[in-house]
Amino acid sequence: MIDPRYLILADHDFGIMTSKTANAVIRYQPSRVVAVLDRQLAGQTSQEVLGFGGDIPVVGSVREGLALGANSVLIGIAPQGGQLPDEWRGWLVEALQGGCDIVSGLHSFLNDDPLLAATARQHGRTILDARRPPADLPVASGLAKDVDALVVLTVGTDCNVGKMTAQLQLVQQLNARGLRTRFVATGQTGIMIEGWGIAVDAVVADFIAGATEQLVLRGAAGADVMLVEGQGSINHPGYSGVTVGLLHGACPDAMILCHQPTREFLGDYRTASWVKIPPLAEYIRLYESIGSAVYPTRVIGIALNTFDLDERAARAACAVAAQETGLPATDPVRFDPSPLVDAIVAAEDAKRRSRAAALS
């Protein structure tokens, strides 16, 4: 799609954490967004709802989005399980009839929906299912461990703590330091932002690591640093398999641990208060031991997501995390990301020297 102008569907959810796709596209690609659809917030702006995104209007109907020049509808929610809310099907038909393409990151592929597929065909429009995995993925064979670029993986204490956002905040500074840096998307939102990637949680289970390996090999060309987007958490009762497959497929030299300090329990299970989030040191121990069982790796910094703390509490949380772990810690969205950038620069330098020494 050339020059997409998105109407983002985020009805009922805009501004809360389940609209993370909407939020990230607005944060990193605001010029592509003409409007957000959320009937409850219609009339406000993105700036008013999210605190960023400027004058991007929130509208209450597809019709208004089309009138503002949208040529594409982007599904901006990522509900657990990934199903399409029934009500939205009618809106998508209206958008296709109005000349829009559709971009979706849902688990249920819209191209498999007979009504939507037929409508798209009839109107000459395209439906892109960002989560549909490529055919013929391999079982991982360990090739990712041999790339020259420094591979940095974000890992988390839970889902939805800012693993993608933390890395996107580092790209600019790393490039400014002279390191050619590439973000490697492993989820639908990252794919929508970068234009390539594989949603590793949507591949057949045997190929999680293999899909990740393919991404690392593709991203390595001409890169000094690769920031590989992590998924889930090592102690997440539903998604830990994706987390570990990704970890072993990427063969990261270094990891950045992402955490939301106000969270007490694994998020999706909060009502059941089942899995309590252990101390950061315990996560570091788990990620380093399970990761290094395949390829030696270590956590080199902590990225906190402090959006729900006031500034003083946020700074205190960073100080506590740094003290607890002995590692650089910051909120790279809210504060200066330099501590994490410095840690990555040092790790890249060490890997380059070690490779050069091995060759000489």
Which stretches of the chain bind its own copies, using CB under 8 A? 80-82, 107, 138-142, 200-206, 208-210, 234-246, 248-249, 268-269, 272, 274-275, 278, 285-286, 289-290, 293-294
Q: How far is the CB of 219 from its own copies (least distance, A)?
A: 18
Q: Using CA atoms, how far apart are residues 321 and 284, in angstroms rounded to an integer?
A: 12
Backbone angles phi, psi at 314, to 5 degrees: -65, -45
Cβ closer to its own copies: 107 or 125? 107
Provide the token pair at 19.
């609209």
Provide the token pair at 9.
């569907």
Provide the token pair at 356.
């050069």
Backbone angles phi, psi at 294, to 5 degrees: -115, -45
Reference 147, options 110, 117, 176, 184; nearest CA is: 184
CB contact at 8 A, 10 and 45: no
Q: How far is the CB of 42 from its own copies (least distance, A)?
A: 31
Q: Which residues pair with 8 in a beta bridge?
A: 36, 74
Q: How far is the CB of 79 from its own copies (least distance, A)?
A: 10
Q: How far is the CB of 320 from its own copies (least distance, A)?
A: 22
The string of DSSP letters for 213-235 reads HHHHHHHHTT-SEEEEPP-S-TT
Cβ closer to its own copies: 80 or 122? 80
Helices (H), 112-177: 114-122, 163-168, 171-176
Backbone angles phi, psi at 125, to 5 degrees: -105, 165
Q: How far is the CB of 174 from its own copies (least distance, A)?
A: 28
Q: How far is the CB of 145 from its own copies (least distance, A)?
A: 8
Cβ closer to its own copies: 63 or 285? 285
Reference 103, options 15, 23, 191; nearest CA is: 191
Strands of the sheet with 225-228, listed across from one edge: 181-184, 225-228, 150-156, 254-259, 298-304, 329-330
Cβ closer to its own copies: 98 or 190? 190
Backbone angles phi, psi at 308, to 5 degrees: -100, 25
Strands (E), 230-292: 254-259
Q: How far is the CB of 141 from its own copies (least distance, A)?
A: 7
Q: How far is the CB of 152 from its own copies (least distance, A)?
A: 19
Reference 226, options 154, 138, 288, 298; nearest CA is: 154
Cβ closer to its own copies: 10 or 246? 246
CB contact at 8 A, 283 and 247: no
Q: How far is the CB of 175 from its own copies (least distance, A)?
A: 31
Q: How far is CA 1 from CA 36, 48, 126, 211, 218, in A?
A: 19, 29, 9, 24, 22
Cβ closer to its own copies: 183 or 283? 283
Cβ closer to its own copies: 121 or 285? 285
Cβ closer to its own copies: 100 or 200? 200
Cβ closer to its own copies: 65 or 187? 187
Q: Using CA atoms, how far apart are residues 345 and 130, in angstroms rounded to an integer?
A: 32
